[in-house]
Amino acid sequence: MQIHVVQRGENLWLISGRYGVNANRIIAVNELREPNRLVIGQAIVIPPPYPEYVVRLGDTLGTIAGRFGISVESIARANSITDTTQIRPGQVLIVPILFHTVRQGESLWAIAHRYGVTVQAIAQANGITNPALISLGQNLKIPEKMRQIIDVNAYTNVFGKVAAGQVRKDGMHLTYLCPFGYRMKDDGTLEPVDDQQLIAAAYEKHVIPVMSITNFSATEAGTKLAHTILSSLELQNKLVTNILTIMENKGYRGLNVDFENVSPSDRESYNQFLRLAVRRLHEKGFFVSSALAPKTSSEQKGLLYEAHDYAAHGDIVDFVVLMTYEWGYRFGPPQSISPINEIRRVLDYAVTVIPRNKIFMGFQLYARDWLLPHVKGQQAETFDMQEAVRRAIQHGAEIKYDQLSQTPYYRYVDEKQHTHEVWFEDARSAQAKFDLVKEYNLRGVSYWVLGYPFPQNWVLLEDNFQIRKLI
């Protein structure tokens, strides 16, 4: 897929003509709310110019795939089909197959580079025995590019029917789901969570449900609670017993441990708790993961960081989630929430002490709007990427792109003449993050948090990677 940044004077129909792609497909892929109103600097995903096929009586995805020489999975993915047996006559399907007409001066190498495939793959798909011999005007079938296989995790912090609907909508893109979360009590029990609908939706979409436990809340940092639990082997065992009971009763397959704001003096006790949890959960066939603050060295100071022992977690648990977001904190000054330059510093350290195949890179799914001038402690408004673009359009703001953090942002003046600064994510910043996953050869991506629409993210995720499904 390509990414187009809107320039002055452009409209959607000029853009669609430039790329030879139906404007309605561009609207659908980006879920453009106001296709007649684009804003300068807005990033738009341009889907490939795939042909369309109208389903006939007697067709199956298998017969259609065979006719075009591609896989059933490719067609299902391109059309967001979850049940491959359910297609109907008259249904219009996108066929994910490309053809390229050779232009003057083009080589097979240049064509392969453009589409992200190998020369050998194009030659094989077109029966070419000598890659140096292609002719002007020749139509070449471009095979599907190879995509890196990764795991994808997502947290959700809402429950009930609405949350289950989110999982059904986005579950095709996920390997794991972490409903967040079970808060532990100082007696080793856990506060109840209404997660049955989420777990059921996860299984429907072949997503592994992961129980998430934590020590903090919206009103308490949880430092004292963490110390109470971690300083008592009896409470630790009781906590693990209660975790196992919930996992077995509700159908969880793994555990995500998120102890935050842990006192530095409890660092080794935290490591010991993880060893205990891994030993007891592995005996029952469950896996254990942990969530880690974004550290850049083993000596990093601060309550968020010191008790998070990267090397120990990398050795003990099955995988870790690096919480590489929240630089643009809602109570702090306006800045990129997940800046690439800062994420890179975290990864540079993490891969020296944690196996790469155990690392999930965190990715936030929300935008923020700060009032200027910023007053310490003043809270920014949090919303989704679609709303970020809508506000830019509404106020006629030009979207800028910070090259250092690889993040879009803009300023606008509201009806009360107050100035705002918005930082969000778009197709460009999402692609930059996916490139990092590839560069560092990580296990995958972990999203915080479902419920904030960002359609471009899911389209690009699928274009870059093959998502592993384990159930």
Q: Which residues does the annotation mark as catalytic?
A: 260
Under a CB-based contact definition with an 8 Å cutoff, are residues 208 and 177 in contact?
Answer: yes
Residue 467, Ramachandran bin (φ over 0: left; ψ between -120 and 50: alpha; else beta): beta
Cα of first residue to Cα of last residue in the chain, in angstroms, is: 29
| Rounded Cα–Cα distance for residues 401 and 123 (Å) | 39
Under a CB-based contact definition with an 8 Å cutoff, are residues 149 and 462 in contact?
Answer: no
Helix (H, G, I), strand (E, B) or coil at 224: helix
Q: How buried is residue 430: exposed, middle or buried, by Cβ count under 10 Å (0-12/13-18/19+)?
A: buried
| Rounded Cα–Cα distance for residues 43 and 413 (Å) | 22
Q: Which two tokens stand for residue 215?
A: 């020590």
Name the pairing type of β-strands 148-156 and 98-101.
Answer: unpaired
| Rounded Cα–Cα distance for residues 398 and 387 (Å) | 15
Burial of 64-84, coded b for 16+ CB within 10 Å and e otherwise, reads bbeeeebebebbbbbeebeee
Sign, CA torsion 261/265/268/273: negative
Q: Which two tokens stand for residue 331?
A: 């109570």
Closest by Cα among 172, 244, 227, 223 to 201? 172
| Rounded Cα–Cα distance for residues 39 and 29 (Å) | 17
